[in-house]
Structure 1
Amino acid sequence: MVEAVNSYEEFQELINGDEPVIFDFYADWCGPCRMISPIFERLSKQFTAVRFRKVNIDQQERVSEELQIRSIPAFIVFQRGNRVNEVVGANPASLEAAVSALAVA
């Protein structure tokens, strides 16, 4: 199960860690977010070398504002503190490509 980010401090710790991490920025009221959530979950089981986390934009406003999240779902990839990729929208093929690229990097 993909865990939620519960604080700004936790987010900072995750992005600055050694493992690559991909964040799913979502909201409970977002239909496309609910549609792609099972795919994100499946990818988390398939690509175990990558950390997968969910960020509720309504609960973690500071994180969302800092990253300038304007559309959801948005998937943002970090590696050693650097923002390296982004997928905006419920596009399973683009999401899978981003995760695959990260897993081999």
Structure 2
Amino acid sequence: MPVTPIETFDEFQKVINGETPAIIDFWAPWCAPCKLISPLFEKFSNRPENAGLGFYKIDTEANQRVMEEANVRTMPSFMVFKSGKKLGESPSAKT
């Protein structure tokens, strides 16, 4: 499944409240590590074993409200949501 951009707060709410586990990449255009990890996130999203997961990315510069709601402090940050609950997070890309 390709990575789907989330453009609005309403889209974010719909994704995190869904029944499908959603892995979200919080990134910013100025973030060099975000640019480095993006192709890996895309590759990971296309693996057959991950077919039951939703993969999304949010530009935090364009979605300040989402960034605040999700309490994003570093970029890139990755969070997993399902049915309105945060199941896990990684607050930065680890090399």
TM-score (norm 2): 0.92
Structure number having the greater helix percentage: 1
Matched, 1:17 2:18: yes
Contact 2:22 2:80 in 1 (8 A): yes
Query: Which runs of structure 1 show a deviation greater than 6 angstroms over 4 or more consecutive aligned residues?
Result: none
State how far apart, in whole Å, the 2-side matches of 1:18 and 1:71 are: 27
The higher relative CO (CA closer than 8 Å, separation ≥ 6) is in: 2
The answer for unaligned runs of 5 or more in structure 2 is: none
**C-alpha deviations, 1:31-85, integer Å up to 9, x for none?**
0001111111011101111000000000011000111111000001001110010
User: Does the 8 Å CA contact 1:28/1:56 hold for their aligned counterparts?
Assistant: yes
Where do 5+ consecutive residues of structure 1 fail to align? 93-105
Matched residue count: 92
Q: Please provide the CA RMSD for this pair.
A: 1.0
TM-score by length of 1: 0.83
| Equivalent position of 1:29 in the other structure | 30
Residue in 1 that maps onto 2:93: 90
SS of 1:49's partner is coil
Match of 1:52 among 51, 55, 72: 55
Aligned to 1:73: 76
